Structure 1
């Protein structure tokens, strides 16, 4: 990759990592489900008037919008609102890689390699350690909701795979039209204070909405889509491993979050397992070539 494109890939990971801190701040200004609805409304409008749908079928936009927008982000925001720290959320959400691997094997019949299976085992050990450590704490329910969000992110990954080769930015912008109405309905049933949050919006509230809707969604996904057009997904996708690192660091600096020894050990296991899932086969192949030479 060109140096400029490596910079852009790292920039996107930074934007998405810091996004968890921004979400945490925004939850102090908006009820969580309303917050998600506003995020997708402003991600879609006015972008849909400038970005073409490019023939993406509505059935896929609705399916992905409901799974990714309503369920995944709804669970994530509610989980963080129930006490899950921003840094830990950025890490735990990466369990989507584990769920995606399992669902790829079941739905697409793509059997994982031994290195991927090893990576899943290591990451699951880390997740199990986190669950055990947080069991009985006020944040435990939030942890389980974020894990569930990772599962539905995995489901949406499979849906995106099934939709075929489409323009990713167009997909993100147009599927963002789907979540607001269902989320507003859920918010009306489950939350209070929505009118006050909108009519008395502070500069902080407006700023976090701008960040998560425009910078984190439209801007970052636009760059990500550009990189995927220029390079193989195998070259671009691994940069997403930087997201929880940036998330943990920014949460520590901005919010003063600290990891316990157990949480740090579990985090290393999760990141190490995902690293094996992504890079294990390539490392084994290169070692084999070096030995053969």
Structure 2
């Protein structure tokens, strides 16, 4: 599935807007699904199974459509690097959700557009940041600092639970950095000319191997009693998010302007916070909500003219 020239892409219409809102909702719910399944399936094993199932689904999908995955096109080194970075992102997410809330993870993870803009500014020609985007990055990082301060001030700074929460928050930001690095590798390497299906296959296949080997290496292979909710959560992550939503996003990119679609990225953490509160009973302080608003406003400013990849 090669992408047409920019001239053939148009501004989002009503269909694109509806699909994008649905995708943001699906991505925002992902942290809740991971948190639910973490109770029965160890984080690394869960992440590896998720990537493995999605890899098989992408392979089947490309076979039925006649999309080649294994021809020589000099994308292997970049593909392996993108897969390792993609795997690192989910190591941070799955471990982080054992330490912090889905609400906080949703906000910290979606700082990725700011890190992506910085990376593209440094490594990709023609992706220079405007003053508005620099303002957005500064605003988002101020929000991160305030959110971290809230983590310390909300509880006893010396308590184990507070320190665990801060560690989880830090992993959320590190996951955002890994996500941004993956995007920069894709944009700045031979993968920029590969099909979206092949790029996604690299990320899923390499991360599946990495995560399953890591799960075995650290002894995270024991599964507790698996409930129907656990199975549903894992299926949601693998089928709905890692397979259907990613391919739908790439489909949108072939038809609509990425810079216009990327504006919707601020909706994902809003959905994530909402689901965390409504479904997991999580709580947040007024200080954290101000910090989240600063991060979201910063993301909106960064995305005014910079296309950002989705998760």
TM superposition score normalised by structure 2: 0.83
Q: CA deviation at 1:140?
A: 0.5
The answer to whether the aligner puts 1:67 opposite 2:85 as a matched pair is yes
Stretch deviating more after TM superposition (23-32 or 130-139): 130-139
| Secondary structure class of the residue paired with 2:205 | coil
Alignment of 1:80-99 (within 5 A): 80-82=97-99, 84-99=100-115
* Cα deviation digits, residues 213-237 of structure 1 (max 9, x gap): 1101111112111111111111212
Aligned to 1:152: 178
Alignment of 1:31 with 2:42, yes or no, is: yes
Runs of 4+ off more than 4 Å: 53-56
Instruction: Find the aligned partners of 2:13 and 2:226 in 1 and give their Cα distance.
Output: 42
Give the deviation of 1:18 after TM superposition. Answer: 0.9
Gapped runs of 5+ residues in structure 1? 282-293
1:8 matched to 2:19? The reply is yes
Q: Out of 129, 140, 144, which is 1:127 matched to?
A: 144
1:107-146 to 2 correspondence within 5 Å?
Answer: 107-108=123-124, 110-135=127-152, 136=157, 137=162, 138-146=164-172
Q: CA offsets per residue over residues 226-259 of structure 1, 9 Å max, x none?
A: 1111111112121222111111111111111121
2:229 match: 204
Alignment of structure 1 residues 1-293 onto 2, 5 Å: 1-51=12-62, 52-54=67-69, 55=71, 57-68=75-86, 70-82=87-99, 84-108=100-124, 110-135=127-152, 136=157, 137=162, 138-162=164-188, 163-192=191-220, 194-197=221-224, 200-279=225-304
Return the offset for 1:89. Answer: 0.9
Structure ranking higher in helix proportion? 1
Q: Distance in 1 between matches of 2:305 and 2:68?
A: 37
Root-mean-square deviation over aligned CA pairs: 1.9
TM-score by length of 1: 0.88
State the 1:102 CA deviation. Answer: 1.8
Mapped to 1, the partners of 2:268 and 2:111 lie a distance apart of 13
Tell whether the 8 Å contact from 1:168 to 1:221 is kept in structure 2 after alignment. Answer: no
Q: Does structure 1 retain, via aligned residues, the 8 Å contact 2:40–2:223?
A: no
For the residue of structure 1 that corresponds to 2:284, the secondary structure is coil
Deviation at 1:205, TM superposition (A): 2.1
Aligned 8 A contact 1:130 1:262 in 2: yes
Q: Following TM superposition, by how much is the alpha carbon of 1:174 offset from its aligned partner in structure 2, in angstroms?
A: 4.1
When the two structures are aligned, how many residues end up with a matched partner?
276
Structure 2 unaligned segments of length 5 or more: list them: 1-11, 307-311
- Alignment partner of 2:183: what SS? helix
Deviations 1:187-232 (A, max 9, x none): 223244x2434xx533222211110011011111121111111111
